[in-house]
Every structure is written in structure tokens, then in C-alpha cells.
Amino acid sequence: MRLACAYRAAFKKDVLIDLVGYRRHGHNEGDEPMYTQPTRTAAIRKHPTVPQVWASRLVSEGVMSADDAAQVERSVSQRYADIHARFKQSLLGSEKHAPWPADTVEAAPTPVVTSVRPERLHFVNESLLQWPADFAVNPRLAKQLERRRETMGEQGGIEWGHAEALAFGSLILDGMSVRITGQDAERGTFSHRHSVLNDVNTGRKYAPLANLPGAKGAFEVYNSALSETAVLAFEYGYSVVATDTLTLWEAQFGDFVNVAQPIIDQFIVADRAKWGQDSGLVMLLPHGYEGQGPEHSSARLERFLQLCAEGNMTVAYCSTPAQYFHLLRRQALRAPRRPLICMQPKSLLRLPQAASKLDDLVHGGFQSVIDDPIASQHRDEVRRIVFCAGKVYYD
């Protein structure tokens, strides 16, 4: 390297260094590299190890004696052995880190109250419609947000993004933090969330949920890089450790989740079986054929259903904002924690027929099956039952 640097400095020419890296073992410790690379493997085995090379240099320079070098090597090796032994011992009888028993029959999750008092929801709603006096919200957006005050009345009209904000706010008031990431998480892919407002004059940002009066929990939202694998992996790990946080990852379009398939297969689906971990991660996957076409239409619902086994996760496809509200609160409050895969709508986000009323959030909870209000008035005439979810019902 010194020669190469000196040559480049003296002659202003490029230098090519043929640096050969190697591993002393094969692909793994049990592999036999002599089968395919006999000459190189033979040379590697004759070459002294890195500790041996370094110890030899220290001895030759008089820094330490050969006995001292040998003692250091024994001491370090023994330290590693002791750490390994303590780790193995810590796993004995540990339910937290031990693999989840294959024959474990898990009891049904303890029911939790997901409804919220009306005065509390009104407080959240009013708080989310407040921002600093010197903050200029986009006029068009301000009108959209102002309508959220009207929809809290008897006429209803609570849309998807509104129900989500009320769910987040109610959780934060109760001490549960909320964290959401995704490629367009602040605004929402379909401009339905607007959890972060931008001053039209200065570009300054303001997040009402992060400034909720009396909040006991925190709110975090991040627009992430276009790297589904990296971000989903990080959020999975975050959800395992941060048990007091509702952690959500939103794909810009549900199709994009295929880039993160290894994280789904290796961790989210098999977190208990393979790692003995519990995760409450929520995956929000926009799903539907409205607009954009190929690679922007399907979250591959069938794939997640095929991966369901032994209570490893929940897959949901809500049909109303109220259902989504109760689902989010249930996910944050229930035990044991399990990942939630939630198909998100597109046209239903603002569809008047799909909107909910405040009463739907104040009473009841998540409904596994919603009766058809029209058919319920003519039960004697029903001859066939069709089960559906989401946009199919409204079509």
C-alpha cells in the first residue's frame, strides 16, 4: 500500500492492487473447501493466523515475550468460552428466549375495550385541529380538516384517515406511543393521513399528534427510504423491544411488500417458532385495483393467508373506518402481542357509503362479521349468503 501511494504521488498514475481476501474455513466451519479449491486452501492452511502474525511481530519488536503473547491468547479464548457458557446457561428455563413449543395451545386473546368515551374523542379531534398561530396550513387542506369537526356530529361521515387519527390520539392520551414509517407515511399514499402539516410559506413542519395536550405517549412518523427490506426489518425489531408502542409500517402500495418477503418469512411469520419473540408490528398494505395498474394493485392477500398457522399473526381487511379504529386499538392493547397484516383500501378512504359515525367508535368493538343492514330487514327472503370484505361489498 505504501508503494502504491508513493507511486501515485510521484507519477500521477493509477495503481491496481490485487488484494486477495480469504476465509480460513469453507462456506461454514463444516464445509471442506479442498474439494473445489485445493491449491488455495493448502496455501491458506500453511499461512499463520492473524493472532499468530500479530503476536510474532510484537515479540520480534520486543513489545512482549512469547510467553506473554501465549498467555494473552489463552486469556481471550477463555473469556469467549466463559461468555458462551453463561449465555447457554441463561437460556435454560428461560421462557422469553426459548423457542415457542410446537404443541402449545394458546388461549384466546383476552378481550379488550376498544370503544372510547365521546368527550375524549371530541377532545382529541379538537386538539388535532389546532396549530400555532403563525403557522399557515394549505387552505385546501385546512378545509378538509375542518370537515372533521362536522363529521363528529349525528350525521357522521368519519373517513378512514380521520378514524385512524382518533385511534392514535386516544392511545397516546392513555400512554401508548405510536410510531409509523413508510415511503409516504406523513401524508399517506392517497393523501388521507396528513399527520404532518407543512407551512405553505416557510415549509415548517408541525405534527398535531406529537403536540396533543396531556399526552402520556409519544407520536413519531417518518417518511422512509425506498427500501422495504431495510425499513420493515428495523420496524420489526423495534416492535419486539418497544412493547409500549404501536409500531406500524405502511407500504406505499401493497405490491411493494414483495421486496421485503425475506423479513416476512423469516421473522414476522415465524417470530415465535424460530426466535421465541413476540411482535405487535402492524403492516398497512394498500390493496385494490383502483388506478395505477400492474405492481400497484394487489398486496397479495392470498400469500398472507397461506402463511397463517398456529395463531402466528392476524390478517384483516376492514370494510369501515370504525372497524379500522377498533382494530388499531385492539392491536395496541391486547395480549399476547401478534403481528397484524391489514389490507388498506383506496376508493373507500373517502367513500360516503363507507363512512362511520361517532357512535360506532363510542360503542362496540371490532366485528368479525358485519350483518348486511338491507338483508336484515328481509331475513325470510334470504336464500344465499355471500361473504365479502372491503370494496367488494360496496360494489
- pTM across the whole model: 0.80
Give the residues of the chain that fall short of pLDDT 70. 93-109, 291
Residues 334-338: contacts with CB within 8 Å, 24+ apart?
334/109, 334/110, 334/112, 335/109, 335/110, 336/106, 336/109, 336/278, 337/243, 337/278, 337/279, 337/280, 338/278, 338/279, 338/280, 338/311, 338/312, 338/313, 338/314
The answer for residues whose C-beta is within 8 angstroms of residue 15's C-beta and 6 or more apart is 4, 7, 8
pLDDT tens column, 243-295: 999 999 999 998 999 999 999 999 999 999 999 899 999 999 999 888 677 88
* pLDDT for the residue numbered 27: 80
* pLDDT for the residue numbered 237: 97
CATH class given for the domain over 118-394:
alpha beta
Q: Rounded to whole angstroms, what are the CA distances from 100 to 94, 147, 264, 271?
A: 11, 48, 18, 9
Tell me how far apart the alpha carbons of residues 379 and 246 are, in angstroms, rounded to a whole number.
41
Burial 73-112 (b: 16+ CB within 10 A, else e): eeeeeeeeeeeeeeeeeeeeeeeeeeebeeeeeeeeeeee
The answer for residues whose C-beta is within 8 angstroms of residue 171's C-beta and 6 or more apart is 178, 217, 246, 328, 329, 332
Cα 187–Cα 192–Cα 198 angle in degrees, nearest 5: 35
* pLDDT for the residue numbered 293: 79
